[in-house]
Structure 1
Amino acid sequence: MNDYLEILFTLIQNTVFQAGLYVIGSLVTAKLADWIITSILSRLASRTDSTIDDRIIQILHRPIYYSILFVGLGISITLLQLPDIITFVFIGIFKSMAILIWSLALFQAFMHFINWYSQQSKGKSILQTHTLPLFDNVGKVIIFMVAVYFIFISWGFNVTGWLASTTIVAMVVALAAKDTVANLFAGFFIMADTPYKLGDYINLDGGERGYVKHIGLRSTRIMTRDDIEITLPNSLIANSKIINESGGPKEKERVRITLSVAYGSDIDQVRSTLMEISQNNENVCKNPEPRMRFRNFGDSGISLQLLFWIEKPEDR
């Protein structure tokens, strides 16, 4: 009996045996945690009305599994008392792999979350369907930068000096490309504020008017009625008065034409003529019907106004 105890005591003190126990223990713990998440938590999440919690659990259970496993492997490598350089390399690899796995999972979770939130907000927040690419790209860039930062730390790099250098370079680039930076910020606020969307017919105070064909971070492109595409920097649009003729519940809009007729003219005949011209024009809506209004007595005639509706702003 004492011999068995002595053998067991010797095994327990053996670093290879201890490392193996940690590997087995981490594997069992990882499997147990994975089972709890995929079975119990998933079952609880399925009872909720929302689907986002189900997706988040499906995405995050793998990173948790590998994180527990890598912790056990890291402890095992440390217990083996290998040369410092080998231990450092293995620990760095485990940390880097864990960071990459978590980064990919956060990419997916973030994408699913913003899609879900944009559907829930129903246009009441800045996170909408047309702003999803912007938030998606910004989120991915932030996650990528944070991942790179932690990978550098895991390999023992002095990140503070790098950050200082990067900050200086960023300031120089921002000053050299201030117009581009201004356009980028303007593009962000245009997408967030949504003064117009793709397909809208807009009119700027500079005289440009047409259908919006593209909204980018740097510029907006509109197509005029002459089939000429105009590219406008977002900073210019952000500082302009924008008339969105497609805004409102419908694209249909009313047109007002002011005219003057001489005193003594037959107003009924004028009205009949204007109504006939309007009703025979294919671009004028039949409902609501065109109508004429008296405005005022001018210096040389009676001021009248013809009002009618058109289906599309480009028919103006």
Structure 2
Amino acid sequence: LKGIGIIASYAALAKLADIFIDKILKKLASRTAMTYDDHLIDFAHAPICWTIFGLGILHALLIEPLSVPWDAVLPAIIKSCILFAWMLSLMQTLDRLTEENLHKIDIQSKLSTDVVLFFKNLFRVIAIVASLLILLSIWKVNLTPLFASAGIAGIALALAAKDTLANLFGGISIFMDRTFKVGDYIVIDDVNRGEVKEIGIRSTRIKTRDDMMITIPNSIIANSKIINESAPVPSFRLRVPVSVAYGSNIDKVEEVLLAVAYNSPDLLKEPKPNVKLRSLGSSSLDFELLVWVVDPSRRGLELHFLLKAVYQAFHDHGIVIPFQQMDIHIDNAQ
């Protein structure tokens, strides 16, 4: 009877904890802007109550000595049940967090869903392994041979899956460094240029202007030079080389080029367009028109429109665009 009374007391205490968490803590958490405190309370709510009740049973088992083997088996069963309650609550919390993050990804399109699912599964595996180790410790299983075998198996697995692990850690480094995100225009090693369509666990997919999808392993990207044309802001500076004939009025050329830039509706007016005389070439004065495009995806289109407008403006103002030629002088001397 004394043991039953102890269990009943702990059951009442567990119920009080349930009411306190449900009626007070959850209301306080709902008033904050953060959602992590809500998830933390939901995670700990049921396990705390079951832990209190389980401690009551363990306390009751200490009242009267049990016979062998029940003196070791029953406490281990109770502790295993408590561990299972915490483990189950953790899995449910991970599922809820994953659903919320996947919903944010669908709205913001910042990250591949594979990455979120990868971290969910990674945390799940870590939690399961940790729980199994605790469970074996509860049942007093010697873990030394297990750790030795796991070390040998881990080395063999790492050697066999070297490339896969390199891609995996490359994907994690891309995610942590935030080098680029989905929707950015990037150039990899001055060769591959395009829009990032997906950042996965093993590879990253880039769509070029030719509508070709390039899949690059993350291990290669992690060790490559990356130019992000969309960072820190989406606007992109376009450099347009322009050559005019010697003898042209330099001030007039600059005035015409700036007028073309300011009259182009799709170019940004801030930062202001600029014209620079870059070199005195072998047969031309070489200028460079510097303008800002609202988005890197429009680089080719804006270059097309600018070159057409520059050619027409030079034609209207009588500015000559030179072409390469060779002058041959014949010496008539005998």
Q: Per the shorter chain, which TM-score range?
A: 0.7 to 0.9
**Which residue number corresponds to residue 17 of structure 2?**
33
Q: How many residues align?
A: 286
Query: Which secondary structure does the structure 1 equivalent of 2:267 belong to?
Result: coil
Does structure 2 conserve the Cα–Cα contact (< 8 Å) formed by 1:103 and 1:147? yes
Is 1:298 the counterpart of 2:281? The answer is yes
Structure 2 residue runs of 5 or longer lacking an equivalent are 101-109, 300-334
Percent of pairs with identical residues: 40
For residues 18-37 of structure 1, give each alpha carbon's deviation from its aligned partner in whole angstroms, at most 9, with x where no partner exists: 43233223212322333344
**Which residue number corresponds to residue 9 of structure 1?**
none
User: Residue 207 of structure 1 is aligned with which of 186, 191, 194?
Assistant: 191
Q: In structure 1, what is the Cα distance between the partners aligned to 2:61 and 2:214?
A: 62
Is 1:198 the counterpart of 2:182? The answer is yes
For residues 207-251 of structure 1, give each alpha carbon's deviation from its aligned partner in whole angstroms, at most 9, with x where no partner exists: 0111111112221111111221111111211111101111123x2
**Which residue number corresponds to residue 267 of structure 2?**
285
Does structure 1 conserve the Cα–Cα contact (< 8 Å) formed by 2:268 and 2:294? no
Is 1:253 the counterpart of 2:236? The answer is yes
Q: In structure 2, what is the Cα distance between the partners aligned to 1:295 and 1:197?
A: 35
The correspondence of residues 1-316 of structure 1 with structure 2, limited to 5 A, is 17-39=1-23, 41-42=25-26, 52-76=36-60, 84=68, 90-107=74-91, 130=111, 135-205=119-189, 207-249=191-233, 251-265=234-248, 267=250, 284-285=266-267, 287=269, 292-316=275-299
1:294 offset after TM fit, Å? 2.0
Q: Which amino acid aligns with 2:227?
A: I
Does structure 1 conserve the Cα–Cα contact (< 8 Å) formed by 2:189 and 2:225? yes
Does structure 1 conserve the Cα–Cα contact (< 8 Å) formed by 2:98 and 2:117? no
TM-score (norm. length: structure 2): 0.70
Q: In structure 2, what is the Cα distance between the partners aligned to 1:108 and 1:238?
A: 34
1:45 offset after TM fit, Å? 5.4
Comparing 270-279 and 139-148, the one that deviates more: 270-279
Does structure 1 conserve the Cα–Cα contact (< 8 Å) formed by 2:186 and 2:229? yes
Query: Which secondary structure does the structure 2 equivalent of 1:259 belong to?
Result: strand
For residues 257-312 of structure 1, give each alpha carbon's deviation from its aligned partner in whole angstroms, at most 9, with x where no partner exists: 22333312455775687678768878x52635755332232333211112233333
Query: Which secondary structure does the structure 2 equivalent of 1:222 belong to?
Result: strand
Q: 1:280 to 1:226 in 2, by over 3 A?
A: farther
Structure 1 residue runs of 5 or longer lacking an equivalent are 1-16, 117-128
1:48 offset after TM fit, Å? 6.2
1:52 offset after TM fit, Å? 3.9
Q: In structure 1, what is the Cα distance between the partners aligned to 2:274 and 2:250?
A: 13
1:140 offset after TM fit, Å? 3.0
Q: In structure 2, what is the Cα distance between the partners aligned to 1:49 and 1:311?
A: 35
**Which residue number corresponds to residue 14 of structure 1?**
none
Q: In structure 1, what is the Cα distance between the partners aligned to 2:268 and 2:54?
A: 73
Q: Which amino acid aligns with 1:296?
A: S
Does structure 1 conserve the Cα–Cα contact (< 8 Å) formed by 2:275 and 2:288? yes
Q: Which amino acid aligns with 2:195?
A: Y
Q: In structure 1, what is the Cα distance between the partners aligned to 2:62 and 2:274?
A: 89
Q: 1:201 to 1:48 in 2, by over 3 A?
A: closer
Query: Which secondary structure does the structure 2 equivalent of 1:197 belong to?
Result: coil
TM-score (norm. length: structure 1): 0.74
Q: In structure 1, what is the Cα distance between the partners aligned to 2:280 and 2:294?
A: 32
Query: Which secondary structure does the structure 1 equivalent of 2:51 belong to?
Result: helix
For residues 85-122 of structure 1, give each alpha carbon's deviation from its aligned partner in whole angstroms, at most 9, with x where no partner exists: 56655444432221121123345567889999xxxxxx
